Amino acid sequence: MPNTMQMRSDPSGREGRFEDEVGEGWTAGVHPEDLESCLRVWTGSFASRAPFEMEYRLRRHDGVYRWIRDFGRPLDGPNGEFLGYIGACYHITDLRQMAEDLAHLASHDPLTGLANRHAFEDAAALANSAARRGFPATVLFADLDRFKQANDRFGHEYGDRVLKEIAAALRAAVRDIDLVARFGGDEFGILLRGQEPDAVAEVEGRLREAVEHTGRQHGLDISLSTGSAIMDGGRSASQVLAEADDRMYQAKRQRRER
């Protein structure tokens, strides 16, 4: 991990060159979105002669911005006079990307890229709190019917491909503010934020058509069973989710009976 030592002068001008830092000097390569926070830390630390530590993006010689971690501490001369700051910059782009990837994996399904059940339950709890303040929401639980035939006929790798296409179709069938999650296997959850109850049936119809259309493209007779529950704020989020889950399995049993 490369690092460079650096020395900066006093912003008061007594040591002379802080204007070089904020002109075409050190700060010229700082990402515009990070510059204000960088200057706030630098000037505050310089004014109080305090150490600092922060992360920001710095433009490389080829124009690419890379994340760095910047440390600095005041440097005194042999007679105790303040000479400026000395410190180091560490390249941390790869570390930040790794942290972002791990955070994404913790809340998303690795196959489809949809939110996972844990993230869905967290979002449902927030939506339920909003429902108490008059913002409606509806939870849908969905399960694929006869999806097993995809794996039995073509193998699990092909089945995963179909499942990814179905996940994308479900996501496209709802609004950007809605949340689609995969719970595992062929089960999904959909959180319809701000959706009035009368519109839920129309959404369920779009979801079923999206699944059936995807199945037909692969020569598969796949359908979707759904169950919904309204978030009214009068019950806990877990109670609402359990109701939607129960209604979904009722719908699935009815399809089997038909």
Q: How confident is the prediction for the chain on average, in pLDDT?
A: 84
Lowest mean pLDDT among 88-97, 183-192, 193-202, 230-239: 193-202
Half-sphere exposure of 138 (CA within 13 A, CB side): 19
- Give me the residue spans of the domains in the chain: 3-98, 108-257
Q: What is the pLDDT of residue 104?
A: 65
Whole-angstrom distance, CA of residue 56 vs CA of residue 203: 43
Q: Which whole number is the average pLDDT over 85-96?
A: 85
pLDDT reported for residue 120: 94
Please list the active-site residues. 186
Fold agreement (3-98, 108-257):
no
> Is 211:224 a contact under the CB 8 Å cutoff?
yes
Length of the chain equals: 258
| CA 65/CA 58 separation, integer angstroms | 5
Split at pLDDT 50, 70, 90, the class of 1 is very low
What pLDDT, in 10s, does the model give residues 15-48? 434 444 444 566 788 999 999 998 999 888 888 8
As a whole number of Å, the end-to-end CA separation of the chain is 64
Q: Does domain 3-98 have CATH number 3.30.450.20?
A: yes
pTM over 0.85: no
166-175: average pLDDT = 95
HEC secondary structure over 177-210: CCEEEEEECCEEEEEEECCCHHHHHHHHHHHHHH
- Domain 108-257, CATH 1.10.15.40 — does that match? no
CA pair distance 130, 194, nearest whole angstrom? 10
Rounded distance between C-alpha atoms, residue 55 and residue 46, angstroms:
17
